[in-house]
Structure 1
Amino acid sequence: MKSMIDSHIHLDHYKDEEIEAIISSSPTIQSFISVSYDIESARRNLLLSEKYSKVKPAFGYHPEQSLPNENELANLITWIESNKEKMVAIGEVGLPYYLRMEAGDPSFPLHGYIELLEAFIILAKKWEMPIVLHAVYDDAPVVCDLLEKHSIEKAHFHWFKGDSKTIQRLIRNGYFISFTPDIVYEEEIQEIAKVFPIDQIMVETDGPWPFEGPFQGLVTHPKMMNDSVSFLSKQKGMSIQEVYRQLYHNTKCFYSL
């Protein structure tokens, strides 16, 4: 049995019957790190963790949406604080790269998002929790600045994309990244995997986000991570058993599971 952990999934975005099917058909998946989008998402992830012991929730506010108003943010922070013992991380939080690109507006205001992210970073530091980050391309160095400012050590950049300078910065700081199934067909992602140390890597699905290539038209399922492991095995020149063991160890230790 090749034990794995899905280090980043939005289980709350699946239908109830899909969640049941995913968990029952994934005996080798020891844990699902289910990240949250907003307070309703966090509440559902909490309920899922109470129903399924393998579900490990992370609570946060996804950046690819409008900023919460003052009351919404206060309610979210209060709720997270009252449930912090039940989560394994702060997440998913970060900066709205794709929202800005879709808007096509170079003056898109980032300052409110930066303050929101910093508030979550401060909580992660205060509670000694890992933080799960949505920070790609030009946003990644900004996020690194904030993490370094608050001396954050446990940072997980999910589905990371960025330049070589930022990649080396992440490596030096001991930050982790995770690869989705698109590693088997996206050259950009393959190039990042080539240089990133195996002991700072995890795998994820980011489900239910759909994938292309050999996964075109399929519902995203944790079994797709086997293809990611197979690719990493060939790229790193390691046996597939070694890669399974290393990735499982990385994720288990990072999230204190």
Structure 2
Amino acid sequence: MKTSLRQTEADFPLMDTHIHLDLYEASDQQKILADMQHSEVQSVISVSMHLASCKRNLELARQNAPMVRPAFGYHPEQALPSSAEMNELLEWMAEHSDEMLAVGEVGLPYYARLEAQSKGRSWDNRPYEQLLDQFIAFAKEHHKPVILHAVYEDADIACDLLEKHKLTRAHFHWFKGSRNTLQRMADRGYYISFTPDILYDDEIRDIASRYPEHLVMTETDGPWPFEGQFTGQMTHPRMTSAVAAAWAELRGLSLPEGRKQLYENAMRLYDL
């Protein structure tokens, strides 16, 4: 039987829908988890980088359910896995699909491609697109949402693949892109999430001001560090409180209205 995380509407809890909890030092992991016991943050979705990362996240989730819920995948901003590594990962994911909330983090290597091109190196994006195609097919087969690292023009490729497999439960984390791509994503009901840079990044604030209110969520992408009022701080799920407040202000909502919307969006996408 599925354990529900629903609380009364008066509670308006927070969710960090994208964090790399396994990448924190063990002492910082324990601090975050201890803090969550006494905070407004109800749960986090801990995304994976590769098979070893998947295994660490599964253990964290087993030890700290339902505060920690794992997503399994292979982050695109790294060297491609071999065929044997990919087969091993997919087989392991299938074996643990009942403990997996989503497929992720998967996507396309926008920043690695830019770096390679800036140094005059040739780049073939097709193997990464084929890899993403496999993960989306897996998500469709196992009835899971997919958590995507796909920004700017890469988002259109991701949309093509989602449409190919008729997968509608998609979460583009920390999205940046054109208004045309945003409209395409919104028309198909794909979700996006905002990090603490919504407080100071004009590009992100513009996206937050226009993307449909029923398709947005909060995240931190920790341990990635942030600027502004967060400079020098360890990225912590409690920062989603500031994200929610900034988003609510941008949309002209009261803080309770904003937090309720963001929470219910995450619960709907992840069927919690």
Please list, as runs of the form range in 1=range in 2, the aligned pairs for 1:68-217 lying within 5 A after superposition: 68-103=81-116, 104=118, 105=120, 107-217=122-232
The match for 1:233 is 248
Root-mean-square deviation (Å) = 1.0
Cα pair 2:40 2:238 within 8 Å, conserved: no
Amino acid at match of 1:210: P
Shift of 1:214: 1.1
Shift of 1:31: 1.3
Give the TM-score of the pair, scaled to structure 1.
Answer: 0.98
Kindly indicate whether residue 39 of structure 2 is the aligned counterpart of residue 39 of structure 1. no
Shift of 1:2: 3.6
The match for 2:8 is none
Cα distance in 2 for partners of 1:167, 1:253 equals: 20
**Which of 48, 64, 69 is the matching residue for 1:52?**
64
The number of residue pairs the alignment matches comes to 257
Cα distance in 2 for partners of 1:80, 1:211 equals: 32
Shift of 1:106: 7.1
Shift of 1:24: 1.4
Cα distance in 2 for partners of 1:178, 1:239 equals: 19
Cα pair 2:12 2:263 within 8 Å, conserved: no
Please list, as runs of the form range in 1=range in 2, the aligned pairs for 1:219-230 lying within 5 A after superposition: 219-230=234-245
- The residue matched to 1:90 in structure 2 has which SS? strand
Cα distance in 2 for partners of 1:140, 1:202 equals: 18
The match for 2:258 is 243
Cα pair 2:217 2:266 within 8 Å, conserved: yes
- The residue matched to 1:207 in structure 2 has which SS? coil
Cα distance in 1 for partners of 2:254, 2:101 equals: 30
Cα distance in 1 for partners of 2:146, 2:121 equals: 28
**Which of 27, 32, 35 is the matching residue for 1:25?**
35
Cα distance in 2 for partners of 1:211, 1:36 equals: 20
- The residue matched to 2:103 in structure 1 has which SS? strand
Query: Following superposition, which runs of at least 4 residues in structure 1 exceed 6 angstroms of deviation?
Result: none
Cα pair 2:15 2:240 within 8 Å, conserved: no
Amino acid at match of 1:102: E
Identify unmatched segments of 5+ residues in structure 2: 1-10
Shift of 1:36: 0.3
The match for 2:4 is none
Cα distance in 2 for partners of 1:20, 1:59 equals: 21
Q: Deviations over 1:51-74 (max 9, x none)?
A: 101110000000000000111111
Shift of 1:81: 0.7
Amino acid at match of 1:244: R
Cα distance in 2 for partners of 1:165, 1:2 equals: 33
- The residue matched to 1:25 in structure 2 has which SS? helix
Identify unmatched segments of 5+ residues in structure 1: none
Cα distance in 1 for partners of 2:18, 2:236 equals: 12
Cα distance in 2 for partners of 1:32, 1:223 equals: 10
Give the TM-score of the pair, scaled to structure 2.
Answer: 0.93
Cα distance in 1 for partners of 2:136, 2:142 equals: 10
Cα distance in 1 for partners of 2:110, 2:102 equals: 22
